[in-house]
Amino acid sequence: MKLWGGRFTKSASKLMDDFHSSISFDFRLYKQDIEGSIAHATMLGEQGIIPLADAKLIVSELKQILFEIENGSVEFSAEAEDIHMNIETLLISRIGDAGKRLHTGRSRNDQVALDIKMYLREECTALSQNLKALCATLIEIATKNTDTIMPGYTHLQKAQPITLAHHTLAYFQMFARDIDRLSDCKKRLNVSPLGSGALAGTTYPLNRERTAELLGFDGVTQNSIDGVSDRDYCIELASCCSIIMMHLSRYCEELILWSSNEFGFVEIDDAFATGSSIMPQKKNPDVAELIRGKTGRVYGDLTALLTIMKALPLAYNKDMQEDKEAIFDAVDTVKSCLEIFNEMLVTAAFNKSNMRKGAEGGFTNATDAADYLVKKGLPFRDAHEVLGKLVLYCLQNKKTLDGLSIEEYKSINPIFEKDIYEAIALETCIEARCITGSPASIETKKAIAQAKAFLEKI
């Protein structure tokens, strides 16, 4: 007999039970459901809504059920539909009428919203910890590579010389923003919907603030309809997850390119690469590629949530049962990707020699040569034109700016003197860029210190 079956004259078909049931995926909410029920029962007893003795019995038995679930001695039933009904059915089977009083002043609508908020609150913390571990790895890489010169790119074309530290700290900034976003998301979801009922609250004198306090919420939702029909927090967290995956995917794309023979900037550890079934020489960056691929999966979860919610009238609709698989998958995917990406990065070996060679080609010091002329009094646009002609001359004669004689320089513009060679040295190009946020070693060390301070305060 269903707990809601009083109005029905026929049993649900087996097909209906299987289609309707969500226990196959919402079972993971068992702890949050029991903790929420314990808080609700405690409040009901304190308010005199149910006998205090019944409230205490409910709490005691719920704790026992939690213990048994965590020890693997409880089997859930698809016939009981979801985790909420499974636990309540089990409770009633053990303590009878007292267990039937648990649902007083509560609907599955606010119960579900409560459980998912409690679950996602914990997941925000877990994701932040994974990001914090990754940020610590990035700081370590940056610290070791403040003098590792490499080419910076725009349009995937060599642009200006930078350091591996500066490049790595760019990703630190991205993941630091992800941590901030998760913190903001957690702040917005950490309000309790319990007491909203089905949609219009209840006639019982519930103390919503008490259950919120018992469950560690910052407050309660201010509208009962919104309390049960809102899934912004799922969408927002899925959006945070999508942005994290986008950042991971960009980094993976670079590692994939850098590990190719054409770049040779990094060697992925054997533990995080695979071979070919036919080509014995192959070492494939499969982890990075798979993370890049899973990014689309998480985007799909976000799109699914937005689509589920886009046309739902207030308040609760059964469509909203579809929220859980999407947000669970998004969170699970991001956590696994962050964990393995961090381990892959920790064990990666950067080829400093190849990176420097990469910076020496492609005229990455051309802007600095133009700046040299500007400091000699030439307007920048004129200096830009002069360097364009110099680069063209080098291309036609298979030379580099460093390899030109002073006579060749002067043949293009007489302002050039022998100090041009020092001005366009790669180290000079980097160290001369010493404003805030630039790659000069002094600024890089400041950035590393700030990054460490950020991690210490979260």
* Residue 306, amino acid: L
Q: Give yes or no for residue 81 having a pLDDT over 90.
A: no
pLDDT score recorded for residue 20: 59
- Alpha-carbon distance of 219 to 108, in angstroms, equals 20
pTM of the full predicted structure?
Answer: 0.94
For 230-340, list the strands marked E by DSSP: 266-267
- Alpha-carbon distance of 188 to 172, in angstroms, equals 25
Quote helix, strand, coil % in the chain, to nearest 5: 65, 5, 30
Q: How does residue 80 score in pLDDT terms, banded at 50, 70 and 90?
A: confident
List pLDDT tens digits, range 139-166: 999 999 999 999 999 999 999 999 999 9
Using a 10 angstrom Cβ sphere, with 0-12 exposed, 13-18 middle and 19 or more buried, the burial of residue 12 is: middle
Q: Give yes or no for residue 228 having a pLDDT over 60.
A: yes
Q: Give yes or no for residue 19 having a pLDDT over 80.
A: no
Q: Which of 13, 260, 276, 336 is catalytic?
A: 276
- Alpha-carbon distance of 40 to 318, in angstroms, equals 24
Q: Verify whether residue 166 is a known catalytic residue.
A: no
Q: Give yes or no for residue 4 having a pLDDT over 60.
A: no
pLDDT score recorded for residue 262: 96
Give the residue-averaged pLDDT of 64-71: 98
Give the residue-averaged pLDDT of 217-236: 98
Give the residue-averaged pLDDT of 303-313: 97
Q: How does residue 5 score in pLDDT terms, banded at 50, 70 and 90?
A: low
Q: Which of 73, 93, 155, 405 is catalytic?
A: 155
pLDDT score recorded for residue 8: 65
pLDDT score recorded for residue 162: 98
Domains of the chain from N-terminus onward: 8-104 (1.10.275.10), 109-141+168-204+215-353 (1.20.200.10), 358-457 (1.10.40.30)
Q: State the alpha helices, DSSP H only, in 282-322.
A: 286-309
146 against 78, higher pLDDT: 146
Give the residue-averaged pLDDT of 267-284: 95
Give the residue-averaged pLDDT of 104-122: 98
- Alpha-carbon distance of 121 to 283, in angstroms, equals 40
SS3 call for 59: helix
SS3 call for 425: coil
pLDDT score recorded for residue 17: 64
> How far is the CA of 269 from the CAs of 37, 244, 275, 289, 409, in angstroms?
48, 23, 12, 15, 45
pLDDT score recorded for residue 79: 85
Backbone angles phi, psi at 260, to 5 degrees: -75, 160
pLDDT score recorded for residue 315: 93
Q: Long-range contacts made by residues 14-20, C-beta under 8 angstroms, separation at least 24?
A: 17/78, 17/79, 17/81, 18/78, 20/81
Give the residue-averaged pLDDT of 320-324: 94
Give the residue-averaged pLDDT of 270-281: 94
Maximum Cα–Cα distance across the chain: 101
Give the residue-averaged pLDDT of 11-15: 69
Percent of the chain with pLDDT over 70: 96
- Alpha-carbon distance of 230 to 234, in angstroms, equals 9
SS3 call for 364: coil
Q: Is 156 left (phi over 0), alpha (psi -120 to 50) or beta?
A: left
- Alpha-carbon distance of 309 to 311, in angstroms, equals 6
The pLDDT mean for the chain works out to 96
Q: Verify whether residue 60 is a known catalytic residue.
A: no
- Alpha-carbon distance of 325 to 304, in angstroms, equals 10
